[in-house]
Every structure is written in C-alpha cells, then in structure tokens.
Structure 1
C-alpha cells in the first residue's frame, strides 16, 4: 500500500462540495486522515474565499490511476476542464504526495505548490509533520514553521464531516 496525500479545495458552494469530495474520496480510497479545514482568500484571481484541507489515505493504485480517479471525482462534482487555471472551483483535488516518489510525468510529484501555498503547506504539515519533503529533505512541520505567514492569510473554520453525511 502507498501513502498518498490529496489537497481539496472549493470556492463554489464550498461546504457541500467539500463534503461531497470527501465522501467520494472515502468511497474510492477508504479511511481518510483529515487536516483541519481552512478558509483562505483566492490566490491568483479575484474570487470568493476557498475552503482547503489535506487528507491522507492509502492505495494500491499506481500514480496515473490515482490521478484518473481524482479527475473523475472532480468531473462528477461539476468541475470543467476548460476552466482557466486561476478561476472559481466546485472541487479541486490535487495529488500532493505518493509515498516519497519524485516524478515529472504523468504528474509532478511532490506538487510544487506544497512549498509556496499556505493553504496546502499548513494542512499538510498538520497531518504529515514528520514526513520529509523528498526534494528539500526537510519535514513539513519545519517547512511550515519557516514559511513567511504574511504571504497568504488563512484561518481554521468549524467543519464537521463523517462519511456520506450530506
């Protein structure tokens, strides 16, 4: 089994889309270890605030199949692939880590935004504090500690989810 970490983001009907995304991840991968859910301002475009979190789960699927499942879940929840890179999202699922694999194809792993987006790094550090980033060779807790927190604002919100609770 492989440990995978997935970021989840939504700024369109964000509470229900986030819960639906968690349900779909649970249905496809089983038990999820979740970070807190954070609200943050949109980055790269003017838009409503996002909900963001990171989950850890396990899979026996290869990387390309995990990516296919994530794209399918996004599509099932209204994500259009024709959307601009920086635009509102019903559901955005990104594979951040697959064990300690470093790849460029079919996806770049670890995802580069792990190091520069607070809304990815903080929740990742919360559930993978002692895991080492396979390129910079530092634990995520240390990377978050050293992160310039003035760059992006985010705050924890009250959010409750249990599988298929919508």
Structure 2
C-alpha cells in the first residue's frame, strides 16, 4: 500500500500574485488598527516579511525563523485576521496531515497615516503617482517603504 504522503501533494504549489491596484487603509479605519496591532511584535514583522518573499507552511516559517510552531501559529492567526496574509494553498505532511500555505493577499495594502476624510485626495494623488512611475513599480515602492518603516534588512 502506498504511503499517504505520496498520494497527496506534500509540497505547496503556491505563488505570490499581486494586483496592480492596492487597497488604501486610513488611520481611522478599524482594519488599520488590526494591521498595526498584528505588526506590533518583532516576531510578527519577521513572519510577515518572510511570507512576502515566499509562501510557506507554519512549520516552514517556524524552521526558517527558528521559532516554535505554537508562537508562529499565534502570529499567523493575527496576521490573517488583519488581512496581511492569506491561505494560498494546502499541502500534506508525510503523515497525511493537511497544512495551510500562507502568503500575502493578492491586493497589497497601503496604510495612510491620515483620516479617511482625506482619502479621496490621497487616492487621486496616488493614481497620479502611479501613472508617473508605472503601475508595476508601485508595489515595489510600497514594499521598500514598509521595509524601511519596519527596519527590514536591505
């Protein structure tokens, strides 16, 4: 009889796909509060950066960051509830246990440190900015700004 792991996919087939249109969050949005809370710890930030580079299972994240699976699971739950990560795929352990594969959502988030009343003007300015530099450069510019904000190594 074949092993369970050979009947079910044991490696994820997830890729990171980004929309060209980010979603804008303002500082007075409820989701902005969740985002800031979810990223309030160094561990959450490290997990978030790791999953923005490559989709991974919780076990892979724990191994990559030399952290406990329990700690990683806690932070993954908070990041997912805040909309910062999502389940991109599932795969199975050698024992046949289903594992979620996490990565960033398709739609990037832009956090604006101003009230939602300013959103129409900011959206117009952002569209002009995106048109000037090209839409493909916008997610890169946002990612670089977030990396600087959260102290990621460049």
TM-score bin (small chain): under 0.3
User: For the pair shown, which has the larger CA radius of gyration, 1 or 2?
Assistant: 2
More contact order relative to length (CA 8 Å, sep ≥ 6) = 2
Higher strand share: 1
Higher helix share: 2
TM-score scaled by length of structure 1: 0.26
TM-score scaled by length of structure 2: 0.28
